[in-house]
Chain A
Amino acid sequence: MTRFTPSMRKGVKFLALLTAMFVFAACAGDAELDTRSNLAGPEAQSIESFMRVLLWITYIVFAFVLAITVEAWRRFRIKGDDYEDDEFPAQIDHSKWEIVWTIVPALILVGVFVFTLGLHNQLNSSEENPISLVVGDGANVEWEPEIVVVGQQWWWEYQYHFGDVELTAQRIETLPDADITTATQMVIPVGTEIELEITSRDVIHSHWIPSLNGKRDAVPGRQSAPWKIQADEPGVFFGQCTEFCGLSHSRMRMQVIALPMAEFQEWVTAQMEGVELSPETAAYVADLAAGGTTAPEGTEQRAVDTFRTKCASCHVLDGVTNGIVSRPEEQLVSGAAPNLTHFGTRTTFAGGIVNVWDPDTGDFNRNQLGQWLRDPSSIKANFTEPVSEDDARLRGMPNLGLTAQEVDDLVGLLEMTGAPPTVDGDSEFLISETGVE
């Protein structure tokens, strides 16, 4: 028996190390999705405080089991494989012990459950705290505040509905047009409890911003029970789709950007307006929208023309696609494509995996955007083949076979769609914080 004592000791040491590993589990510094550190939401913080106690209970129970095992090995093992017939331990059986170790764990669990119930109720309660917003035209509107979160393969859409709109328990198709529609990045005011109405347009996804709260599935055909998030400090909070949703599940990310109320207000105001074009181009768009067939003059008008012919069947760009009704449902299985009106105010695109702005230089990321327009599948796995012979719909951004000229024009047009909001007065903050490698 002694011959494997050293390895046995090693095993014990290893298990001790393992236990230590769990204790220090939250030590990683650069973990933006960490559920246990850098938490900024009261929900996530409550969960973590509970989790800390819970983990200690499990460490103690495991240490107890391990200690008994190791001590039994130390005290009661016999050397070698043979032993005498008289070497018999007492053949005991005490049912009083059974009672003890049925009751004691049950009592511990009753305690755990009582606290669980409290936390569960805290997470699932919500209070209505309407806030007043000044929207684009200077009018005051009440905002619940709630945001409709829509998952689709493989990006997230966020809809803001101002005024008195009943959003709860509505199917996504029946919702009225949103006042603001954005993709991949949700912008919220700091210190405000936001109610999320989460749903999906195709398969099941799961919306998760670990540093603010746990996750909630986005189920097609239904809206989740309200799920709230709140950020207590300005910043960028990363998220990742956590329900397996097919090919590019791993490339379906999102960020929540929490802004102080004033900056949030500015963001809202900007989002309510269309893209700013030169007066000539704006007139050109108005002409086209009215049924005109003027030929484009100059780069900007050419870009507008390309967008209207190649992109507008799925994408909306207010100020450019005027007069066109996008019908993404005819082109895409999910029936939706990101609204690009304020593309430049976001810092990532393609499901949160590519930078709109270079995090080092702060320049518009023309290279990767161009690459995306030329061949989307080279950046993010998509289904470029139609669903079937009878169903020509695609899943994800198709390769449109754009010419180099068209790609350049479109990149130029998208560069005109705004700049990221400032956070606490810092205009570079977002670009450097959301940088994707």
Chain B
Amino acid sequence: MAIVERPLAIGAGDDAIETNDRPLGSVTRPKETGSWKDWLTTVDHKKIGIMYGVAAMFFFVIGGAEALLIRIQLATPNGTLLSPDVYNQVFTMHGVTMIFLVAMPMGAAFTNYLLPLQLGARDVAFPRLNALSFWVFLFGGLFLNSAWLFGGGADGGWFNYAPNSSVTFSPSHGIDFYALGLQITGVASLVGAINLITTALNMRPKGMTLMRMPIFTWMNLVVQFLLLFAVPVISIALFQLTFDRLFDANFFNTEAGADPLLWQHLFWIFGHPEVYILILPSFGIVSEVIPVFSRKPIFGYSFMVASGVAIGFMGWGVWAHHMFVSGIGPISVAAFSLSTMFIAVPTGVKILNWLATIWGGKLRFNTAMLFAVGVVSMFTIGGLSGVTHSVAPADTQQTDTYYIVAHFHYVIFGGTLLGFFSGFYFWWPKMFGYKLNEKLGKTNFWLQIVGFNVTFGPMHILGLQGMSRRIDTYDAGFGFERWNFVATVGAFIIALGIAFFFVNVAVSRNQWIKAGRPNPGPDPWDARSLEWMTASPTPVHNFDEEIVVESQDEFWHRKYGYDENHNVVRIATAAEVAQDGSNTNVHLPSPSYFPILLALSMPIISYGLIYSLWLCIPGGMLMVYSMVGWIFEHPDDPNAAHDHHDDGHDGDDHGALPDSGTELEAGDGDEELVAVGAGAVGETVASDVVETEATDG
């Protein structure tokens, strides 16, 4: 991997280098910027992050609508809004959508946008691969949901247990869409994982040792490792399922002697690390937000990092707690009961460290902080109910009831989703240049958290009353009526709360425009990490010059120091420390059509597998074409894609490299990986296509 290509190294006064803009003679490398087409071909991690966020929000609305249908159906006994068949599709697609198309990509949105910024980097390691992950995810998600237009969604539950997932028991194409759609989104996760691991490990700035990395970046590094090892497992399972359904491969066909527990093991070896894939980005966000609004460093940084890594490791040893009643042996049950209990220890460390950070701080309870504190208490409930079913005997009463539904919604909604909302309010000015309205934000928060508890709190009771999961109706007389009705009311309160978020975005933006687009400044919250050290919204080239890191919370330490009594004193304003983003002629990775084309080939092949194998031929041709074009298209066009392109200056953009060692190591080519280990920056080779021309024009 670590190939450094020399031909593009640009020396002083060189003429423009010729590169092949049309590697296959048909698709010309895009050059224009500023139009909507720019979004299709961009390789900018910030734009990709925003697109991830928008797409996840789009799917969130779909998944939310499905949730409301479920709640209306269950509001009263013998609900008739949905037929049993449609209900099974709706609850399956609700789960699949929320997990794979909302929570995971929303984490990817934050990671994409923030991870390079927190490292002071130009972009991710492989910008075109980054674009590929996004488009593959989007097309995979659209493909999965297109099942609604082709006769109905998957109807086997998100866990899709064999053999109920076979053609015999689910003859519609819904599960084919499930298997192939998740296969595609899995590709997106894998590609992203490789890219972001490389970025975090290799593109840290000088002085940023691993133990100076912000916790958000740390947690997402752990997540990417989890994805790297978990996604292949589900990919294999999904391939087996696809081959079973399309070509009678008999992996899970019990009539042919298969053991249906095989699917369960494969699914949950993926599925449990998946839970941590969903929650750790949110833990990262909370760990950034709470210190800023407490005016304290995170309590026990090293323990926060270590507990995240411990969760990442232990997360692999607990999967069979999903199978306590499936008939695995008593010894296995006891062992997995033990491991599951003890994963609560590192999680508890995190909760208590957040509390210790808050304690004694100077707390600003704005919306971002409220959501973050909300995560701390709501996730605690989810974690504690988790401990109650780590007790295997108790789990035999609880599993597959609404108690479990309550539990994982406290984890995924109360933990993950509230964390994301905290992140929205916190980083919005950095991303879009204006703050979200606090009044509307607090309304958003209170409606959401009250609605959330009114919806999912009663589900604990329903589960203990014996209401099974995944039932399309229930009869009167089992005592389920009251709390189901309450839960439905709660669901609509949540919907109202989420609506306030969208209203807030529109209102805040309008007010900002009316006020003449005032700039919030680089550091509206008096924050601590590097992303706040550049202008808001983030300039396209991120940073004007490389940052040399000397401590954890580098930005804060540039603003504040200690006096002789060890009191904190300000030594500089944010504006003095932060970069203003005014640099010009920063060479950026070039846009490309090939990621989106390659991504497009995947749903075409998938439709072909389901409906007509002939369709796989054009799909396959598009895939090969895009790959070959990708290979022959040089990762960077030295003659284009410069930020702040200043047409008034003389000559081309490629003046002398500055001598001062301010070259920016950044995402500068897919083939290239410049090793910038901690403390090793001084020796690294100059990046060959990204340079800062401080003296230009």
Q: From the candidates A77, A89, A225, A243, name the one contacting B161 in the complex (CB within 8 A).
A: A243
A378 at the interface (CB under 8 A from B): no
B-facing residues in A193-213 (Cβ within 8 Å) = 198, 202-204, 206, 208, 210, 213
Q: Across the interface, which residues of B come within 8 angstroms of A388, CB to CB? A: 167-168, 171
Q: From the candidates B164, B352, B470, B567, name the one contacting A204 in the complex (CB within 8 A).
A: B164
A123 at the interface (CB under 8 A from B): yes
Residue contact A7 to B570, C-beta cutoff 8 Å = no
B466 at the interface (CB under 8 A from A): yes
Q: Across the interface, which residues of B come within 8 angstroms of A25, CB to CB? A: 460-461, 464-465
Residue contact A76 to B358, C-beta cutoff 8 Å = yes
Q: Which residue of A lies closest to B470 (CB)?
A: A244
A116–B400 alpha-carbon span in the complex (Å): 20
Residue contact A18 to B352, C-beta cutoff 8 Å = no
A242–B302 alpha-carbon span in the complex (Å): 43
B301 at the interface (CB under 8 A from A): yes
Residue contact B260 to A210, C-beta cutoff 8 Å = no
Q: Which residue of A lies closest to B365 (CB)?
A: A77
Return the CB mask of B228-253 against A: 1 if under 8 Å, else 0. 00000000000000000000000000
B-facing residues in A349-399 (Cβ within 8 Å) = 353, 381, 387-388, 391, 395
A58–B403 alpha-carbon span in the complex (Å): 15
Residue contact A225 to B360, C-beta cutoff 8 Å = no
A403 at the interface (CB under 8 A from B): no
A250–B171 alpha-carbon span in the complex (Å): 20
B-facing residues in A94-111 (Cβ within 8 Å) = 95, 97-98, 101-102, 105-106, 109
A8–B338 alpha-carbon span in the complex (Å): 38
Residue contact B393 to A72, C-beta cutoff 8 Å = no
Which range holds the interface residue count of chain A?
Answer: 35 or more
Residue contact B384 to A58, C-beta cutoff 8 Å = yes
A112 at the interface (CB under 8 A from B): yes
B47 at the interface (CB under 8 A from A): no
Q: A11-B446, A29-B479, A242-B469 are in contact. Are A35 and B364 (CB under 8 A)?
A: no
B300 at the interface (CB under 8 A from A): yes
B-facing residues in A32-47 (Cβ within 8 Å) = 32-36, 44, 46-47
Return the CB mask of B462-501 against A: 1 if under 8 Å, else 0. 0011111111111111111010000000000000000000
Q: From the candidates A30, A93, A214, A250, name the one contacting B300 in the complex (CB within 8 A).
A: A93
A138–B514 alpha-carbon span in the complex (Å): 95
A120 at the interface (CB under 8 A from B): yes
Residue contact A105 to B169, C-beta cutoff 8 Å = no
Q: From the candidates A11, A35, A333, name the one contacting B169 in the complex (CB within 8 A).
A: A333
B398 at the interface (CB under 8 A from A): yes
A66 at the interface (CB under 8 A from B): yes
The smallest beta-carbon distance between A248 and chain B, in angstroms, is 6
Residue contact A22 to B397, C-beta cutoff 8 Å = no
B670 at the interface (CB under 8 A from A): no
The smallest beta-carbon distance between B371 and chain A, in angstroms, is 13
Residue contact A35 to B398, C-beta cutoff 8 Å = yes
A220–B168 alpha-carbon span in the complex (Å): 14
A405–B449 alpha-carbon span in the complex (Å): 60
B519 at the interface (CB under 8 A from A): no
The smallest beta-carbon distance between B170 and chain A, in angstroms, is 8
Q: Across the interface, which residues of B come within 8 angstroms of A289, CB to CB? A: none
The residue among A44, A65, A113, A213 with the most chain B CB atoms within 10 A of its own CB is A65
Q: From the candidates A33, A72, A204, A333, name the one contacting B363 in the complex (CB within 8 A).
A: A72
Residue contact A73 to B464, C-beta cutoff 8 Å = no
Stretch binding the partner chain, chosen from A80-88, A261-269, A308-316 = A80-88
Q: Which residue of A lies closest to B378 (CB)?
A: A15
A114–B301 alpha-carbon span in the complex (Å): 32
Q: Across the interface, which residues of B come within 8 angstroms of A95, CB to CB? A: 300, 302-303
Q: Which secondary structure characterizes the binding site on chain A?
A: mixed
A381–B342 alpha-carbon span in the complex (Å): 43
Q: A210-B397, A220-B260, A222-B327 are in contact. Are A381 and B361 (CB under 8 A)?
A: no
B69 at the interface (CB under 8 A from A): no
A1 at the interface (CB under 8 A from B): yes
Residue contact B470 to A93, C-beta cutoff 8 Å = no
Residue contact A101 to B327, C-beta cutoff 8 Å = no
A109–B387 alpha-carbon span in the complex (Å): 9
Residue contact B362 to A28, C-beta cutoff 8 Å = no
Q: Across the interface, which residues of A come within 8 angstroms of B458, CB to CB? A: 21
B333 at the interface (CB under 8 A from A): yes
Residue contact B355 to A215, C-beta cutoff 8 Å = no
B388 at the interface (CB under 8 A from A): yes
Q: From the candidates B363, B438, B475, name the one contacting A77 in the complex (CB within 8 A).
A: B363
Q: From the candidates B365, B394, B482, name the one contacting A47 in the complex (CB within 8 A).
A: B394
A78–B330 alpha-carbon span in the complex (Å): 54
Q: Across the interface, which residues of B come within 8 angstroms of A249, CB to CB? A: 88, 468, 470-472
B695 at the interface (CB under 8 A from A): no
Residue contact B373 to A69, C-beta cutoff 8 Å = yes
Q: Across the interface, which residues of A come within 8 angstroms of B334, CB to CB? A: 116-117, 120
B275 at the interface (CB under 8 A from A): no
The smallest beta-carbon distance between A381 and chain B, in angstroms, is 4
A295 at the interface (CB under 8 A from B): no
A32–B569 alpha-carbon span in the complex (Å): 65
Return the CB mask of A229-264 against B: 1 if under 8 Å, else 0. 000000000101111111111100000000000000
B639 at the interface (CB under 8 A from A): no
Q: From the candidates A33, A92, A119, name the one contacting B467 in the complex (CB within 8 A).
A: A33
A294 at the interface (CB under 8 A from B): no
The smallest beta-carbon distance between A58 and chain B, in angstroms, is 4
The smallest beta-carbon distance between A200 and chain B, in angstroms, is 9
Residue contact B348 to A101, C-beta cutoff 8 Å = yes
Residue contact A62 to B397, C-beta cutoff 8 Å = no
Q: From the candidates A28, A89, A203, name the one contacting B479 in the complex (CB within 8 A).
A: A28
Q: A14-B453, A51-B388, A93-B301 are in contact. Are A65 and B377 (CB under 8 A)?
A: yes
Residue contact B400 to A30, C-beta cutoff 8 Å = no
Q: Across the interface, which residues of B come within 8 angstroms of A353, CB to CB? A: 475
A95–B301 alpha-carbon span in the complex (Å): 10
A437–B78 alpha-carbon span in the complex (Å): 11
Q: Which residue of A lies closest to B482 (CB)?
A: A28
Q: Which residue of B lies closest to A59 (CB)?
A: B384
Q: A81-B366, A222-B259 are in contact. Are A69 and B161 (CB under 8 A)?
A: no
Residue contact B360 to A58, C-beta cutoff 8 Å = no
Q: Which residue of B lies closest to A116 (CB)?
A: B391
Q: From the candidates B259, B333, B401, B482, name the one contacting A120 in the complex (CB within 8 A).
A: B333
Residue contact A62 to B381, C-beta cutoff 8 Å = yes
Q: Across the interface, which residues of B come within 8 angstroms of A35, CB to CB? A: 397-398, 401, 464-466
Q: Across the interface, which residues of B come within 8 angstroms of A217, CB to CB? A: 325-327
Q: A62-B381, A202-B169 are in contact. Are A51 and B349 (CB under 8 A)?
A: no
Q: Across the interface, which residues of A come within 8 angstroms of B359, CB to CB? A: 68, 72, 76
A216 at the interface (CB under 8 A from B): yes
Q: Which residue of B lies closest to A380 (CB)?
A: B84
The smallest beta-carbon distance between B560 and chain A, in angstroms, is 8
A89–B363 alpha-carbon span in the complex (Å): 10
Residue contact B259 to A61, C-beta cutoff 8 Å = no
A31 at the interface (CB under 8 A from B): yes
The smallest beta-carbon distance between A353 and chain B, in angstroms, is 7
Residue contact A21 to B300, C-beta cutoff 8 Å = no
Residue contact A247 to B85, C-beta cutoff 8 Å = yes
Shortest Cβ-Cβ A-B pairs, 8 listed = A214-B396, A33-B466, A250-B471, A31-B479, A88-B568, A58-B384, A28-B479, A203-B164
10 pairs, A vs B, C-beta closer than 8 Å = A35-B401, A65-B376, A68-B358, A72-B363, A92-B299, A106-B342, A120-B333, A220-B163, A243-B400, A246-B169
Which B residues fall within an 8 A CB radius of A? Answer: 83-85, 88, 155-157, 161, 163-164, 167-171, 254, 257-261, 294-297, 299-303, 325-327, 329-330, 333-334, 337-338, 341-342, 344-345, 348-349, 351-353, 355-356, 358-366, 373, 376-377, 380-381, 384-385, 387-388, 391-401, 438, 442, 446, 449-450, 453, 457-458, 460-461, 464-480, 482, 560, 567-570
Q: In the complex, given contacts A35-B464, A90-B360, A333-B168, what are 14 additional A-B residue pairs having Cβ atoms less than 8 angstroms apart?
A: A14-B453, A61-B380, A69-B358, A73-B365, A76-B361, A89-B295, A95-B300, A97-B356, A109-B387, A202-B163, A203-B164, A240-B468, A242-B399, A395-B169
